[in-house]
Structure 1
Amino acid sequence: MIISLENAQISASFSTKGGELQRLKSKQSSLEYLWNGDSKFWGKFSPILFPIVGGLKEDTYFFEEKAYQLPRHGFARDREFEAHKIGENEVLFLLKDDAESLKVYPFNFQLGLRYQLLENTLRCSYEVLNSGDKDLWFSIGGHPAFSVPLNSSLNYDDYYLEFNKDQQLNAHQVSNNLIEEETESIPLTSEGQLPLNHPLFYHDALVFKDLKSNKISLKSDKDPHGLDFHFEAFPFFGIWAAKDADFVCLEPWCGIADGVHHDQDLTKKEGMTKLAPGNEWFRHWEVTCF
């Protein structure tokens, strides 16, 4: 089922499958800011990554001496969420543990995805509740794909990403969906800009563990329109595009793929959050269209 929201400046639509944002449009410029989901390249729009981010070594983790299998980025993005529309400009999607999830992830949880339209800004909030009687171990992350070029008369390499607090990026290499210890230095311009081009992502995502910025902007010197992507308290970040596809994913993560030397113990996995019974956990990111 598709649910739509709109205010005077922007409109957005969401699917109950995965609680996924699928459209984000400016009503003033008529620009569509989100990738169109062309399955020839990548058939998603903005999936939720839960209860893991990235891949597991051999798609397997161990908890309390038992082996479990999970696909890359977990299962929530492929599950049907329950939708609660709260006012004209807000919707909340909920996913709870069930017999199917407990087979691969032995924890009781409630995952909420809350979307709000705030003038020309869309806010996406993650709300995790430990509904069980033991500690909940999880990771979570965003994967929104933004259209590049926004202006159809321009090209992909007419755009750049602008970082508000970084002068240089240190990207971890990804090998077979696992994180290498080595990093590659990626210089930015004096204005903190990373020019976009398709070969930038031919190897895989650019993965960062030490990003200083809390705002990344998508801009072009040939067009006044773009977006600001705001995020706080996400210790990891990924930037990715499918090969030669006209989008860029800006991915704030509380979690990361297994390192190549990880022992597959879930409680020792880098980036895992430990949430006590009855406790709640919150994070959010925002995209502002201009």
Structure 2
Amino acid sequence: MYYIENEFLEVGIDAKGAELVSLFHKDHEIEYMWGADPLFWGKSSPVLFPIVGGLKDNSYTFEGEKYNLPRHGFARDYVFEVEDHWDDGISFLLRSDENTLKIYPFTFEFRIVYELYANLLSVTYHVTNLSEKDMYFSVGGHPAFAVPLTDDLTYEDFYLEFEEDEIFHRWPLSEQGLILEEPEPLFGEKIVDEESVVEETKIVPLTKELFHQDALVFKQLNSTNVILKSDKSEHSLRFDFAGFPFLGIWAAKNADFICIEPWCGIADSVNHTQELTEKEGINVLAAGDVFERAWAVKLT
């Protein structure tokens, strides 16, 4: 385990998967991360690379060859090298090797940098294409935050408040974790002036039942941040995800956490061709270029 800290926060990261496991506010004496209870879900913040979500039949084709990748890719299962470590920041590095090349035919460097700025944690992904051809990839986060934040409150006391009004259409998942062809309104439709409409709102109330049909998957939201909060508490967190075109919201069934997942990429659709270059949301990185995205969480 590696730690970074400043006057406000102490953060713990495991070198396996460069996974964020602790986000502790010193003054409030509150742990904001889920404790990875294996009875529900034994992870706290897996990194998703080089794919996000699942592949159709767990496979894809590229340049006429077929490859297999597990759900969310392989980075979360690798031990990252600590490239640099200072008091309030740390940089982890994963390099392609003979094992990754068997299932993902690109040479790369994948860096994850954690940095503290007062009561804010910034997490930056750097993908460098060392191949001599275009690299096709997805990348994303899967951090799980504790709900409730304190023992005197309940899960249902909390809600998500998005930056902008949204028409929340979720993209349902098949039993195999693939994106279905049509979205559906998160809160249903209402009849207004004899027409069926979906109302705009910023608020998503939290209930355990909300995730009984798997994750809430959103595409191209207006918002670039969302706040996890309760009207009964002064403590909250703001999650910034500018630059990520897809957002997942998920919790294991009846578990006391919520994942806020910023994605540059998405699971295959049920009718996908399985050709990597045709995958929805895939990022294309030219030889020698670097891709960078960052999300951040601010604690109060």
Q: Paired residue for 2:193? A: none
Relative to structure 1, the CA distance from residue 17 to residue 109 in structure 2 (aligned partners, 3 Å threshold; closer, same or farther) is same
1:242 — aligned with what? 252
Q: Which ranges in structure 2 are unaligned for 5 or more consecutive residues?
A: 188-197
Contact kept? 1:166, 1:211, Cα under 8 Å: no
TM-score normalised by the chain length of structure 2: 0.94
Paired residue for 1:173?
172
1:130 is matched with which residue? 129
Give the Cα–Cα distance (whole angstroms) in 2 for the partners of residues 235 and 135 of structure 1: 21
For residues 199 and 27 of structure 2, what CA distance do their matches in structure 1 show?
31
Whether the 8 Å CA contact 1:53–1:255 is kept in 2: the answer is yes
SS of corresponding position for 1:211: coil
Structure 2 equivalent of residue 208 of structure 1? 218
Aligned counterparts of 1:183 and 1:137: Cα–Cα separation in 2: 26
1:45 aligns with 2:44: yes
Which residue in the other structure is 2:143 paired with? 144
Q: CA deviation at 1:131?
A: 1.0
Matched, 1:153 2:163: no
User: Deviation digits for residues 16-75 of structure 1, max 9, x if unmatched?
Assistant: 100011000100100000000001111111111000000000001001111100000000
Aligned partner of residue 17 in structure 2, secondary structure: coil
1-side partners of 2:200 and 2:160: how far apart?
A: 13
Aligned length: 289
Answer yes or no: is 1:184 the counterpart of 2:194.
Answer: no
Question: Which residue pairs with 1:82 in the alignment?
Answer: 81
Residues 243-264 of structure 1: per-residue CA shift (max 9 Å, x gap)? 0000000000000000000000
Residue pair 2:171, 2:218 contacting (<8 A) in 1 also: yes
Taking a change above 3 Å as real, the CA distance of residues 190 and 27 of structure 1, as seen in their structure-2 partners, is farther
- 1:167-211 deviations in whole A, cap 9, x for unaligned? 331100010210012112124998611110001000110001121
- For 2:43 and 2:86, the matched residues in 1 are separated by 27
Aligned to 1:11, the other structure's residue is in SS state strand
The amino acid that maps onto 1:30 is E
Query: Does the 8 A contact of 1:170 with 1:210 survive in 2?
Result: no
Cα pair 2:165 2:201 within 8 Å, conserved = no
| Residue 225 to residue 53, structure 1, CA distance change in 2 (3 Å) | same
Does 1:259 pair with 2:269?
Answer: yes
The aligned counterpart of 1:107 is: 106
Q: CA deviation at 1:10?
A: 0.6
CA RMSD of aligned residues (A): 1.2
List, as ranges, runs of 4+ consecutive aligned residues in structure 1 with deviation greater than 3 Å.
Answer: 187-191
Q: Secondary structure at the match of 2:295?
A: strand
Aligned residue for 2:34?
35
Letter in 2 for 1:45: S
Identity of matched residues, %: 49
Question: When the two structures are superposed, what TM-score results if normalisation uses the length of structure 1?
Answer: 0.97
**2:166–2:221 contact (8 Å) kept in structure 1:** no
Structure 1 unaligned spans of 5+: none
- The whole-number CA distance in structure 2 between the counterparts of 1:270 and 1:115 is 28
What residue in structure 1 maps to residue 65 of structure 2? 66
Decide whether the 8 Å contact of 2:157 with 2:232 is kept in 1: yes
